[in-house]
Amino acid sequence: MTLKHTRRTFMAAVAALGVAAAASLPGNAQAADEPIKIGTFLSVTGPASFLGDPELKTLQMYVDKINAEGGVNGQPLELVHYDTGGDPNKAVTFVKRLIAQDEVDAIVGGSTSGESLAVMPLMERFEVPFISFAGSKKIVDPVQAWTFKTPHTDTMACEKIFEDMKKRGFTQIAMISGTGGFGQSMQAECQGVAPDYGIEILADETYGPKDTDMTAQLTSIKNTPGVQAVLNPGFGQGPAIVTKNYRQLQIDAPLYQSHGVASKKFIELAGDAAEGVRLPAAALLVAEQLSDDDPQKPVVTGYKAAYEEKHGEGSVSTFGGHAYDGLMLIVDAMKTAGSSEPQAVRDALENTKGYMGTAGEVNFSENDHLGLTPDAFRMLEIRNGDWVLVDDTTG
Amino acid sequence: MNEATPMSPRPSSASTANISRPGDTTPPGAPERPAPQAPGTPRTGAGSAGRPRQGLKARLMKPRTGGLLVLAVVVAVLPAFLQNAFHYDVAIQIGFNAIVAIGLNLLIGYCGQISLGHAGFLGVGAYFSAITVTNFGWPPLLSLVVAAVVVGLLAFVIARPILRLKGHYLAMATLGIGLIISIILNQEAQLTGGPDGMIVDPFTVFGFEFKKPWHWYSLVGGLLVIAAWLSLNIIDSPVGRALRAVHGSEVAAEVVGVDTTRYKVMIFVVSAVFASVVGSLGAHYIMFLSPQEASFFHSVELVIMVVLGGMASTFGAVVGAATLTALPQFLTFLEDYEHLIFGLILMLVMIFLPKGVVPSLAALFKRGGEK
C-alpha cells in the first residue's frame, strides 16, 4: 500500500513539476518605454570565446555610448544577449527566444559560421534583419534577403595574397593548410581562385590542428622544384609551428600566412621565425600606420582607442571590429529608415553605400550582402616583432 | 537489482568507474528471479512478473501503465502553457534529448555499461539522413529508417568486441568510437560540409511538411511516449531481468545461464538506434547540422542527463533531459555567472541526491509515507 501511495504522490509531484516549470518559463516582457531592441547571440564561452568575448564587449560599449548620445531616432537601444557556447543548436533556440519572446527589432551576432548558418532560415521565415560576424562565404552566397555579414571572406584573403604574389613575380607556389575549419575552407577557396591570378600550386600539404611538428610536410615542399612562395592557411598555434619549422629547414621562398593569425599572439608564439612573414589583415591591426589621408584611419583609430581605454592596452582585435561594424550598420540603417520597422531597416541596410567600417568600405546591394572588396585587406609584413604595412611600399 | 549495487555516482567519477564495474561490492544477486526492489528505483517494475492478474485500477497504478499515463498527460497538457515558438522549441529539444536519454539509460542504468560515444551514433544517424535527403533526394522517412538500420548494424559490429571490456576500458573504447566518428564528420568536408556544417532539407512525409512548432511537438511528444513505453516493456520483460542480472554481477549472471554478451550487445544496439532516430529528426528540425552534434561533449551531456535524472529509472532519464535542457534557459539572466551556477546546481544535486533526482526523491517520499 505504501508503495502505491508513494507512486501516486510521486507521479502527482512529477506532473506538478512539469506544469510549474512550463508556467514559469520566462514570460513576455511588457515594453514600458519602447526601446529599440537589438538581439545578439555570441560564443562568449567555449572554444570560440576568443571571438565572442570581444564582440560582446564591443556591443555593450557602443550601445551604452549611443544611448548616452541620445539613442537612435530618439529611442534608446537595448541589447539582449545570450551565450551560445559556440553550439549551433543552442543558437537556434536562442534566436527563437530573441524573436518570439524578446521581440527584438534586429539581430546581430553569430560568432562562428555554424551558428550563423543554422539560424539563417529563421531570419528569413520571421523576417528579421540579421548581420552575422562569421567568416564563411556560404552566409552571403547565395544572397538571402534578410542576412548580411561584416567580416571579409576567405576568398578575399586568397585574392589579396595572390595579388601580392603576382606583384612580386611569384607564379609557382606551395600550400600547407591546417585541416581545422578555417584552414580547410581557405584551402578550398585559394585552390579555386589561384588560376584567376595565373598561379600554379605545385605542392599541397595539410596538417592536423593539434600536430606539433610539420617538418615532414615542409621537407616535401622544400624538395619540390620551382616553388617560389609558400602559403599557410591555418588558425591557432599550427601556423606558428609551421613558421618555426620553416626557418629550421631554412627554406628560402617567402612565407605567407593568412588573416587567421592576425593577432599579436602569433608573433609571440613564432618569435624570431615570424620575421619577414607576410599576411593580409584588417586595417585595425595597423591603425596608427595608415596614412593620414586614408578615409579608414579615423574609424579604426577611434574604435581602437575606445576599446583599449576600457579593456586595456593591446586588447583590440579584428573580431570586436566586426561587431562594431555590424552594430553601426544596423544603427545607420535605422536612422536612414527613420524607424526600426524590420522591412524598412532591411531595405535601408541593403542600400547602404560608402559606410566606412573597421573591415573596410561597405557597399551593400541586392546581389551583395557582404559589400567588401579585397582592397579592404591590407598586406602586412612582420618586422622587428611588429606589423608593418607593405601595401604601398612594394608598389 | 540489489541495494548494495555501486550506483552512487560522485561528480568526479560519475561517468566511468562506478557504473560499469559490477560485482565488486555486490554479493551475487539472484538473477533468475527479480531481486527485491531497491528503494531508490521504485519504477523499474521489478517484481511484476510473478504477480497475479490484477484489477484495472491496480494495473493502472503499475509503473508501466501509470507512469506512462502521467507522461502522456504531461505531454498532452503542456502545449497549454507554451506561449510562443521559443517555448515550443525548448519543449521539443527536451523531447529529443529525453528519447536519447531513455535509450542510454537502458545501457547505463540497467545494464551497467558505460558509453561515452553515444553522440557519435546520433551524429551518424543525423548525417546519414541529412546527406541522403538533401544531396540525393531520398524521402526523409525512408532515410530515417535506413539510417537507424545502418547505425544499428554499426553498433552491433562495434559492440561485439568492445562490450568484452569493462570499467575504464569500456569507457575508453566508446570514447574512442565517438571521437573517430566526430573526426570523420569533420574531415569529409565534400560530403558533410566539414566543421562549418551543412544545411538540411525539411522533414516531409508523403508530401506533408513538418513546419509549424506544434507539428514537431506532436511528433516528438508521441515518439517520447513510445520510447518510454518500449523502455518500460524491455525492462519488465525477461530481457530486462537478464540485464539487471548483468548489472548486478556479470559472473553470477553467466553462471545461471544468461548469455551476457548477447544481452549487452542487444541493448547497446537498441540505445544506438534511439540516438540515430533522434539524430535524423533533429537534423530535419533544426534544418542545419554541424559535427558538434557528434562531439565528445555532447556524449558527456547525454550521460549527465541519465545520471542526473536517476540511473535505472526511465522517467528519471526524462526528468534529467528536461532539467539539463531547460535549466540554462532559466539561468541566462545571470550573464557571466551562468555556467558557474549551472555547474553548482549539478554538483549540489549529485551531492544531496546521489542516486539522481527521480529515485532519490521517490525514496524520500516513500520514507515520508512510512512515518
> Residue A309 in contact with residue A299, Cβ under 8 Å?
no
Query: Cα distance from B249 to chain A (closest Cα, Å)?
Result: 27
Check A114 against B196: CB less than 8 A apart.
yes
pLDDT higher for A29 or B211? B211
> Residue A197 in contact with residue A163, Cβ under 8 Å?
yes
Task: Tell me if chain A has a CB within 8 Å of the CB of B66.
Answer: yes
SS (H, E, C) chain A: CHHHHHHHHHHHHHHHHHHHHHHCCCCCCCCCCCCEEEEEEECCCCCCHHHHHHHHHHHHHHHHHHHHCCCECCECEEEEEEECCCCHHHHHHHHHHHHHHCCCCEEEECCCHHHHHHHHHHHHHHCCCEEECCCCHHHCCCCCCCEEECCCCHHHHHHHHHHHHHHCCCCEEEEEEECCHHHHHHHHHHHHHHHHHCCEEEEEEEECCCCCCCHHHHHHHHCCCCCCEEEECCCCCHHHHHHHHHHHCCCCCCEEECHHHCCHHHHHHHHHHHCCCEEEECHHHHHHHCCCCCCCHHHHHHHHHHHHHHHCCCCCCHHHHHHHHHHHHHHHHHHHHCCCCHHHHHHHHHCCCCEECCCCEECCECCECCCCCHHHCEEEEEECCEEEECCCCCC
Determine the Cα–Cα distance for residues B353 and B197; give it in Å rounded to an integer.
39
Q: Which residue of A has its CA nearest to B292?
A: A87
> Residue B120 in contact with residue B175, Cβ under 8 Å?
no
Determine the Cα–Cα distance for residues B251 and B22; give it in Å rounded to an integer.
9
**Is residue A182 very low, low, confident or very high in pLDDT (cuts 50, 70, 90)?**
confident
Determine the Cα–Cα distance for residues B75 and A210; give it in Å rounded to an integer.
45
Interface of A with B in 119-138 (CB under 8 A): 121, 136, 138
Lowest mean pLDDT segment, chosen from A102-111, A252-261, A309-318, A338-347: A309-318
How far does CA B41 lie from the centroid of its chain? Answer: 17
Task: Tell me if chain A has a CB within 8 Å of the CB of B149.
Answer: no
Q: What is the pLDDT of residue B44?
A: 41
Check B90 against A93: CB less than 8 A apart.
yes
Cα torsion A344, A350, A352, A357 to 10°: value is: 110
> Residue B353 in contact with residue B360, Cβ under 8 Å?
yes
Q: Which residue of A has its CA nearest to B200?
A: A118
Query: Cα distance from B371 to chain A (closest Cα, Å)?
Result: 10
Q: Is B253 helix (H, G, I), strand (E, B) or coil?
A: helix
Please, what CATH class does the domain formed by A154-281+377-389 belong to?
alpha beta
> Residue B195 in contact with residue A184, Cβ under 8 Å?
yes
| Chain B residues whose beta carbon lies within 8 Å of the beta carbon of residue A83 | 332, 338
Determine the Cα–Cα distance for residues A167 and A198; give it in Å rounded to an integer.
12
Of A7, A26, A97, the CB nearest to B61: A7
Determine the Cα–Cα distance for residues A205 and A215; give it in Å rounded to an integer.
11
Check B196 against A27: CB less than 8 A apart.
no
**CATH (residue range A36-152+305-364):** 3.40.50.2300
Task: Specify which residues A205 forms β-bridges with.
Answer: A176
Is the Cα torsion angle A8, A12, A17, A22 positive or negative in sign?
positive
Query: Which H or E element spans position B272?
Result: helix B260-286
Question: How many CA atoms are closer than 13 Å to the CA of A30, on its beta-carbon side?
Answer: 1
> Residue B313 in contact with residue B41, Cβ under 8 Å?
yes
pLDDT for residue A32 is more than 50: no
Chain position carrying cell 540489489: B2
| pLDDT one-digit tens code per residue, A135-156 | 888 889 889 999 999 998 888 8
Nearest to B196 by CA among A136, A187, A110, A95: A136
| Chain B residues whose beta carbon lies within 8 Å of the beta carbon of residue A93 | 86, 89-90, 93, 329
Q: Where are the domains of chain B?
A: 64-295
Interface of B with A in 75-114 (CB under 8 A): 77-78, 81-87, 89-91, 93
Check B81 against A117: CB less than 8 A apart.
no
Of B77, B84, B322, the CB nearest to A100: B84
Q: What is the pLDDT of residue B42?
A: 42
Task: Tell me if chain A has a CB within 8 Å of the CB of B179.
Answer: no
Determine the Cα–Cα distance for residues B371 and B369; give it in Å rounded to an integer.
6
Q: Which residue of A has its CA nearest to B89?
A: A93
Chain position carrying cell 554479493: B27
Q: Is B266 helix (H, G, I), strand (E, B) or coil?
A: helix
Determine the Cα–Cα distance for residues A301 and A307; give it in Å rounded to an integer.
10
> Residue A350 in contact with residue A126, Cβ under 8 Å?
no
Check B86 against A101: CB less than 8 A apart.
yes
The reply to whether domains A36-152+305-364 and A154-281+377-389 share a CATH topology is: yes
**Is residue A219 very low, low, confident or very high in pLDDT (cuts 50, 70, 90)?**
very high
Which residues have CB under 8 Å from B174's CB, separation 6+? B114, B115, B116, B117, B118, B162
Determine the Cα–Cα distance for residues A13 and A19; give it in Å rounded to an integer.
10
Would strands A130-132 and A106-109 be described as parallel, antiparallel, or unpaired? Answer: parallel
Whether cis (ω within 30° of 0) applies to the bond prior to A142 is yes
How far does CA A202 lie from the centroid of its chain? Answer: 30
| pLDDT one-digit tens code per residue, A302-358 | 999 999 999 888 788 888 999 999 999 999 999 999 888 999 999 999 999 989 988
Interface pTM, i.e. ipTM: 0.75
Please give the C-alpha separations between residue A91 and each of A376, B328, B329, in angstroms, as whole numbers.
29, 13, 12
Long-range contacts of A289-293 (CB under 8 A, 24+ apart): A289/A387, A289/A388, A289/A389, A290/A389, A291/A392
pLDDT higher for A116 or A4? A116
How far does CA B215 lie from the centroid of its chain? Answer: 23
Nearest to B220 by CA among B312, B337, B134, B97: B97
> Residue B312 in contact with residue B110, Cβ under 8 Å?
yes
Please give the C-alpha separations between residue A281 and each of A4, A154, A163, A182, B357, in angstroms, as whole numbers.
70, 11, 14, 15, 52
pLDDT for residue A12 is more than 80: no
Q: What is the pLDDT of residue B40?
A: 41
Per-residue pLDDT of chain B (371 residues), as tens digits, is: 343 444 444 444 334 334 444 444 434 433 444 444 444 444 444 444 444 455 666 655 565 677 888 899 999 999 988 888 899 999 999 999 999 999 999 999 888 888 999 999 999 999 999 999 999 989 999 999 999 999 999 999 988 888 777 777 888 889 999 999 998 998 888 888 888 888 898 898 888 888 888 899 999 999 999 999 999 988 888 888 888 888 888 888 888 888 888 888 999 999 999 999 999 999 999 989 989 889 898 999 999 999 988 888 889 999 999 999 998 888 888 777 878 888 898 888 888 888 888 888 888 887 765 54
Q: How many helices (H) and strands (E) does chain B have?
A: 15, 4
**Is residue A105 very low, low, confident or very high in pLDDT (cuts 50, 70, 90)?**
very high
Task: Give chain A's mean pLDDT.
Answer: 86
How far does CA B355 lie from the centroid of its chain? Answer: 16
